[in-house]
Structure 1
């Protein structure tokens, strides 16, 4: 090394932009400035102190943290649970007092004088609890009127810093009506202009999910975060979790967690269904998590899925796209509610929105979410009530119950027009998803006018597990890099459609296609035979019928095909042509598609089952399903296709049944993928649908299915 380089002063930074820490090298000394900067020369060791208290030494480099100046740890992020690192970090971070640490702070003369009184007795090398109760630390903090940070809080901040992440909490984003939204912004520590990955919904931006309204809740989430990064597994029973997700109290009498009817949902990410900061920020992105209006401490009226919510999202995108640390390109990322919100805002076309990855989203709130098939059949129509104060919001569920027909002007939910969705997107369509997201994502891909769109079809656990798998994260990063960083990688050269073909007993393989639905699909008709309970290639000349109870959810009729003559792949939309009648004025019909093996046992096709089994009817989750309230059977001829019937669901088209009349109807069955092995059989199951809105017509009623001759009821399947 030349003397010229050796004698050159180099600038470094002490983490957290602490102003006033003393430093000394072999040739230089001084005090850190308001950015935490210090000077050193190549190869020198720097010793840091606060007043007379030496806090540690480290070889000079661009960024130094408390983990670097503890010799036995030496900046190893895997060792930050070391008690000296933890206690030193707690101590230094606590000196910010009531100022947000993320804003930087100054070591004042008052702090130095106080530390100098006790510095000889300060001991960082003790257990965390002992340090918390240490008499000297207690007195020192009391004299400064400061609060000692918890071990978890300190480690979380240190961990982010060591990964080059700076967090800004509760940043105000102005809205068009002179109000504001609150967001947590995760920036690269290194100054620059970066693309933004944003999410917006009503689940709360606290770690995992939720909002923080007191110190107990704050420490709870800090502990969750620390456990997550330290590899301490946490999970929540499925039913309990979704009650919490709605912001409600979990009742005492629930099925025990870890059982088939209440399986455990592992915490596999920092935030439920949104981007992990540790995946994206170190790779040169800014991650922003926005609490929507009426969520957390964001003021205002909570209006889930409304156009007002979409307009707020628009304002947040434009704010981020024009900020000093932004390169002007904003991408949206998230699943379920987050995906639904991004689809809505994309139709408003904010100028700085350049790409989005909606994982399991929806477009048409009537057909995809609330009234699939014309009945209130969805089990997940709930309101997210995550407010730090008194919750104030619009009860869209009860409003929807008063509007059983597709009347957009009366619905508080904003359904996007696919003709207005022009932004590049990579959508993920979930399989095994009960009652929502599957249809919506498929219809988004088919109908959005965007010239640059991709579709991935995968198991429902893609929402909670697969989206955080390294392979998938890298695909998503490549897509965002292409559109937000102008990196000309090969992601857009790949086939636009990537399907998970499930092979049964939890197996699968990937298959790429150029379009969806697949252009070469052969739509085969399997005709129902009520007498034999069969699905067959031709219709019977003799008419037959079968009857079942309308008010017994365990009552079902099945039609089973002949054994497959060869391995057969089904991928796309299914539909059922049905001739039926009832002893009452309506029918709520649910259709399940299942597969039976050579022994007549049902084949499970879920890849990793995370949805509770029905204790009354504990069968495998079906390959796919569909439903229809028969009074809503009127079709829209222009929007219906060969593979997918489209019902009008208009009040003027309402057609109740009378006098056991036999009616013809087409039931939409949601798209799916499945490979059926040679020798296995396809099974069509027809059961009563549970109409949450009004099931009075089902009581003591009997439904009939007609087949053969002029009643050519059939199941149509997509063979590729």
Structure 2
């Protein structure tokens, strides 16, 4: 019989407010083990102390490959230096709840190293059914411990949110509520490939910086101040290579979604029934907001909410008002203490509206300015998409305009060189009144090429103020981003309009090998480009520009498709990519225009 907790150490926090059990064991059904840290209030018993009569608390659980023991200050010094107080201190770790705050709030906090990372042995396979099942097992374990009331909540950012969708879809016993904060729910469409195009720059940087560096048995972590070394010893380079799935490499080798890599990672979001608060960031285009919106729309939960924030990826989660939001939600479903009316359900009288969004109006927008982002007002809505949304077409015209009138006899063709050519822009006239665009834009582009290659299309929405200056917003890393982004590879353009998830504004694609169809020479094909959820308010006199390009352009932040083999000259270059405008080729941008027109009169949150 395996001895549990053989590596465990127990200490009291420096301020004396909680107990930390480091490297407690969570046994898995296949004989494996996950190692976790348990942060518990002083009067809660030790893990597996079945004879104790100590206090019991609801539990917050997180799991990832990033390393439960890597101090936030080492993991991301710049972020930590500007962090809010309730994100800093002893045992602070990137993107997770701070033990000092949450134990004082009456919770046990459990932080887990994913299998194959940190102190958890086993084969490492990120974002897979193995991860979802391991996390579900850990949730059930936490619900049964001597310090637990049996109620488990999930709270965390990014990867710590992705795992929430995966585990919740398995309906583990004891799971009471989830708060996926900026978290994708579809590893293929949200993270690996945008419109079939590899999101190479980010996944390479992310993997090399904070995933591969935490592999179980990797030597030298302590010397690099990247958490402690593996307590059970180092692995050889050969053992390390055999002990993990190289996810970026696999994403390159398997470009379509109908392979085990992505079938195994697919999350049955429709199976989620637990109360959920999905929090998306308007500035996160390129990774998470699509998943937060899709997760909310697809989940079967009767008690579900969708909130939109703005600001950098790392800071908003730890704002006082955001922590108060998180706590009110979790207290309601984990403790039965409801200060805001969550238990009444979305849109109930005296309760919480189903949707709340930060309103980004002209004049109050500054890039990477945390006080400015916190000061923006918030509006409540009853549903998503917003009731009263008018999907309004703007047709591309021969004079490079965007017009409300369809082309009539004015045929035109615009072209650029595939792969590295210059973008072409189409602009609206000045808007006659303030106009709000919130929801799911989609671009219908009729395109052809002069050769027999593939076509990658990068669509950007650029917003201009009445004075002619471009309006930028705070992106994931703090860099300036544009109003909207969309992507599509011509060979993967096939749509399944009969699929339950298909909407005119969110086309559904299987991205299956059997559906691949390369455009023939001079063949005009319709490219229906999904633009990720947007929100912006165009002031009177302002304009909107549709930019169409064969490559990434300014305002993309970290989510660049720059792999030279994935996007090679041989596969995409040396030909003309054409955009067609004609009576039978009504290339157009469809915008979700909402009646609120920029209204917003409530403080956050």
Q: Is the 8 A contact 2:257 2:263 kept in 1?
A: no
- Map of 1:539 onto structure 2: 406
For 1:638 and 1:312, locate their aligned partners in 2 and report how far apart those are by CA, in whole Å. Answer: 34
* Distance in 1 (alpha carbons) for counterparts of 2:101 and 2:400: 52
**174 and 101 in structure 1: CA distance in 2 versus 1, 3 angstrom threshold:** closer
Counterpart mapping for 1:294-313 below 5 A? 294-313=116-135
Per the alignment, residue 39 of structure 1 pairs with none
Q: Indicate yes or no: 2:592 matched with 1:718.
A: yes
Deviation at 1:599, TM superposition (A): 3.2
Give the count of matched residue pairs: 510
**Residues 585-617 of structure 1: per-residue CA shift (max 9 Å, x gap):** 2110010111112232211233xx55375xxxx
| Match in the other structure for 2:358 | 500
Q: 1:502-541 to 2 correspondence within 5 Å?
A: 502-504=360-362, 505-506=365-366, 508-529=376-397, 531-541=398-408
Deviation readout 1:223-266 (Å, 9 max, x if unpaired): x69xxxxxxxx8338xxx9xxxxxxxxxxxxxxxxxxxxxx986
Q: Which moved more, 1:635-644 or 1:509-518?
A: 635-644
For 2:503, the equivalent position in structure 1 comes to: 641
Q: Does 1:707 align with 2:573?
A: no
Separation in 1, partners of 2:10, 2:286: 44
1:50-449 to structure 2, matched below 5 A, reads 100=9, 102=11, 157-159=13-15, 161=16, 164-191=17-44, 192-208=55-71, 235-236=77-78, 269=88, 270-377=92-199, 379-382=201-204, 383=207, 384-385=211-212, 386-387=214-215, 388=230, 389-390=234-235, 391=240, 392-411=243-262, 413-449=264-300
Q: Equivalents in 1 of 2:395, 2:581: separation in Å?
A: 8
RMSD: 2.3
Between the aligned partners of 1:629 and 1:420, the Cα distance in structure 2 is: 30
Separation (CA, whole Å) in 2 of partners of 1:460 and 1:587: 33
User: Residue 611 in 1 paired to residue 470 in 2?
Assistant: no
CA contact 1:593–1:624 (8 Å) conserved in 2: yes
Counterpart of 2:347?
Answer: none
Report the equivalent of 1:668. Answer: 530
TM-score by length of 2: 0.80
Q: Distance in 2 between matches of 1:626 and 1:370?
A: 14
**Pair 701,491 (structure 1): closer, same or farther in 2 beyond 3 Å:** farther
Deviations 1:64-93 (A, max 9, x none): xxxxxxxxxxxxxxxxxxxxxxxxxxxxxx
Matched, 1:474 2:324: yes
Larger displacement relative to structure 2 (268-277 or 476-485): 268-277
Within 2, Cα distance between the matches of 1:683 and 1:278?
47
> Does 1:650 pair with 2:512?
yes
Gaps of 5+ in 2: 1-6, 45-54, 216-229, 343-350, 367-371, 552-560, 595-605
Contact 1:535 1:559 survives alignment (8 Å): yes
Q: CA deviation at 1:413?
A: 4.8
Distance 1:612 1:361 in 2: 18
For the residues of structure 2 that align with 1:99 and 1:290, how far apart are their CA atoms?
A: 13
- Equivalent residue number for residue 230 of structure 1: none
CA contact (8 A) 2:328 2:339 kept: yes
Distance in 2, matches of 1:453 and 1:353, equals: 15
Instruction: Map Cα deviations across residues 276-334 of structure 1 (whole Å, 9 max, x no partner).
Output: 11221101001111011111121111110111111111111111100011000001111
Is the Cα–Cα contact under 8 Å of residues 365 and 413 in structure 1 kept in the other structure? no
SS at match of 2:356: strand
Which structure has more relative contact order (CA 8 Å, sep 6+)? It is 2
The separation in 2 between residues aligned to 1:596 and 1:408, in whole angstroms, is 42
Who wins on radius of gyration, i.e. which is larger? 1
Task: Select which of 533, 542, 545 maps to 1:683.
Answer: 545
Partner Cα separation in structure 1 for residue 287 and residue 309 of structure 2: 15
Q: Secondary structure at the match of 2:446?
A: strand
Deviation at residue 491 of structure 1 after TM alignment: 3.9
Match of 2:482 in 1: 622
Q: What corresponds to 2:49 in structure 1?
A: none
CA shift for structure 1 position 359: 0.9
Deviates further, 565-574 or 383-392: 383-392
Q: Secondary structure at the match of 2:257?
A: coil
Distance, in Å, in 2 between the alignment partners of 1:588 and 1:431 is 25
Shift of 1:576: 0.2
> 1:32-53 CA deviation, whole Å, 9 max, x = no partner?
xxxxxxxxxxxxxxxxxxxxxx
TM-score, normalised by the number of residues in structure 1: 0.68
Kindly indicate whether the alpha-carbon contact (under 8 Å) linking 1:535 and 1:560 is maintained by their aligned counterparts in 2. yes
Unaligned runs of 5+ in 1: 1-97, 104-156, 210-220, 226-233, 242-263, 614-619
Deviations along 1:665-685, one digit per CA (max 9) or x if unpaired, are 211000011111111001111
Show the counterpart of 2:226: none
Asked whether the equivalents of residues 379 and 434 of structure 1 are also in contact (C-alpha less than 8 Å), the reply is no
Which secondary structure state, in structure 1, belongs to the residue aligned with residue 486 of structure 2? strand
CA deviation profile, 1:408-438 (whole Å, cap 9, x unmatched): 5343751111221111110111222242112
Distance 2:280 2:505 in 1: 18
Q: Does residue 598 in structure 1 map to residue 466 in structure 2? A: yes
2:494 is paired with a residue whose SS is coil
Q: Which residue of 2 aligns with 1:586?
A: 454
Structure 2 counterpart of 1:556: 423
